[in-house]
Amino acid sequence: MFKKFICALLFLTSVTAVAQTEGTADSAQKPQAASNPVVVMTTSAGVIELELMPAQAPITVRNFLRYVENGFYEGTIFHRVIDNFMIQGGGFNKDMLRKNTLPPIQNESANGLPNLRGTIAMARTNEPHSATSQFFINLKNNSALNAKSWKPGYTVFGHVINGMNVVTAVGLTQTGQQGPYRNVPVEPIIIEKVELKGAQ
């Protein structure tokens, strides 16, 4: 009886050791947050921090960071806000004048990153490869925006790591129509600056 107990104990110890080893291996394969760039978006509604995913969306992240480094987003607004859908910004100033942008980029929506709540993705027209500076942050899981086998979707390139309460609050703001544009916040929500965290 004692012999059987010892054998059982050795077996459980062995299983636990294997499980611990497998857990460590799984963790090592996951991307570390510290290795990805983080941007701090200071808005009139509060601060939002976003971790970008260059391994999955290299073209998109490089494009976004070019706008960040050039100070392009300073003074732009969240110009399109739809509750329980998304908040969109990065293309217009508070007078709803469109800013000049860099050339459009290649669509990377088939990168395996879905449009989940709190993710940031590129806005575009019906032309898949038309994204320039505008982006949106998802207020819910928007699976309809994901790439399908027969059509491109909207490229996710990062996610909110701090300030989702700010994103949610922006999503609840009162909106109206301004000229030809709908869903425009009545009180402008200004993007004051976007900076790469840790940049000198």
- Residue 42 and residue 192 in contact, taking contact as beta carbons nearer than 8 Å: yes
- Residue 155 and residue 120 in contact, taking contact as beta carbons nearer than 8 Å: no
Provide the whole-model pTM.
0.83
Q: What is the CATH number of the domain that holds 111?
A: 2.40.100.10
Instruction: Give the pLDDT means over successive 10-residue stretches in the chain (200 positions).
Output: 42 37 31 77 98 98 98 98 98 97 98 98 98 98 97 98 98 97 98 89
State both tokens at 168: 């949610």
Identify whether residues 155 and 77 lie together within a single domain: yes
Give the total number of structural domains in the chain. 2
Identify whether residues 134 and 38 lie together within a single domain: yes
pLDDT of residue 34: 61
Q: Where are the alpha helices (DSSP H) in 30-104?
A: 58-69
pLDDT of residue 199: 74
pLDDT of residue 198: 83
Identify whether residues 187 and 119 lie together within a single domain: yes
Identify whether residues 125 and 176 lie together within a single domain: yes
Identify whether residues 11 and 38 lie together within a single domain: no
Identify whether residues 5 and 64 lie together within a single domain: no
pLDDT of residue 27: 29
pLDDT of residue 71: 98
> What domain range includes position 16?
1-30
Identify whether residues 102 and 143 lie together within a single domain: yes
Identify whether residues 118 and 137 lie together within a single domain: yes
- Residue 61 and residue 157 in contact, taking contact as beta carbons nearer than 8 Å: yes
Residue 89: name the closest of 136, 45, 157, 155 by CA.
136
